[in-house]
Amino acid sequence: MKSLWMQLISRFFSWRSENGGISELSFAVENFRIDLQLFAAEDEGRTQPGSERRRREEREKGNVPKSSEVPSAIVLLAGVVLMYIMGEYFFMKSYYLLRKYFFGIRSADSVSLEAVSTLMNNALWDITQLLLPLMGITVVAAIVGNVVQVGFLFAPRALAFNFSRIRPNFKKVLPNRQTLFNLGKSLAKVAIIGWVSYFIIEKDFFRILMLGHMGLEESVSLITFTAFKIFVVVGILLLAISVGDYFFQRYEYEESLKMTPSEAKREMKEQDGDPSLQARRRQMARDTIKKSRMLTEVPKADVVITNPTHFAVALEYKPSIHKAPIVIAKGVDDFALRIIRVAKSNGVPTVEDRPMARTLYDEVEIGQEVPARFYTALSVIFTKLESFRKAFRNAS
């Protein structure tokens, strides 16, 4: 970007010296050519997407894709909803406080420093109580607006002093995609607020002109309802703008994470050289192979004991081969559900027994026999299954 602007300025001055001023503009346009390649992104060459390691590091620094417009829009809408629900309370409370302090000052016998101090403390406390619901809903809405974008994030490194944050950066002064987008966003917000205000006020324009001839209650009702409509429509439209701004900020964030091929190659080497990462990848590969083998054994099972959603243990029992039922597959959470699905698709019965499923999963390894204390319960299960099979064969 610096080279672009330096070339633009130098070409402008050379044009002035060659053509002698503004009067020769029409003859100098052809000579004032700009290489469009100068407008290419300053991070040209960063074609590789950001790695998980880089994303994790940026998140630890507090650099996450988020839009400041989302919390603002949610705070505005939450405040409008609160005023709609508690508007009468705020109005009556304000009216009561005004009467209390104006008449209190008029009826005061004497004015002293102590009396003024007491009056100010009481007024501050009453105003705090009045505004406490509004402040509370504002804080909650702001937190929600940030959590929905980045989740719960605690980044102590973002609080540390960083000289680069206060160092002059002239790149931010020059036009770029971010500044142009922010300019368009600001103009859109001004246009929306102006258009909505005009459209709604124009509907009630003649009634607003008659405010001087209305009673206090009717005047306040008209002004309040008109303001409520303006804030609701503006809040909804600003929320729509904030959604677009969030996706733009996410796109900019992804662009900032991109790396050059050499950076990506260097980071890959660093990751591959980490012994803990290598061990973790090998363990994940072994677990994947082990799970695949277990799934192929599930159709051979005689029954699957389930939790029913957290644990699943597949048992095989061939009296001529096994002294007791053996565990041929077991899993927890998502893998347990996969075992159950494979069992049902292959006609293997499933029996829900929470304590047995958890104990077998924790204590018995693949290929081992079940403990003797489960023989009685399992004999009942296998007897019922055998009776069901015989009844089914007879019915067939």
Query: 207-232 pLDDT, tens per residue?
Result: 877 877 777 778 878 888 888 888 89
Domain boundaries, given as residue ranges, for the chain: 2-40, 65-159+176-257, 295-395
One of 3.40.1690.10, 3.30.1300.10, 3.90.1640.10, 2.60.120.10 is the CATH number of 295-395, namely 3.40.1690.10
pLDDT of residue 35: 46
pLDDT of residue 111: 65
pLDDT of residue 360: 85
pLDDT of residue 164: 61
d(CA 123, CA 380): 77
Tell me the C-alpha to C-alpha distance, in Å, between residue 277 and each of 109, 273, 282. 80, 8, 9
pLDDT of residue 184: 87
pLDDT of residue 9: 56
pLDDT of residue 104: 66
Residue with tokens 């970007």: 1
Q: Is the Cβ–Cβ distance between 30 and 125 less than 8 Å?
A: no
- Residues of the chain where predicted confidence (pLDDT) is lower than 50: 1-2, 5, 21-32, 34-42, 391-392, 394-396
Could you tell me which of 77, 83, 75, 127 has the C-alpha nearest to residue 101? 127
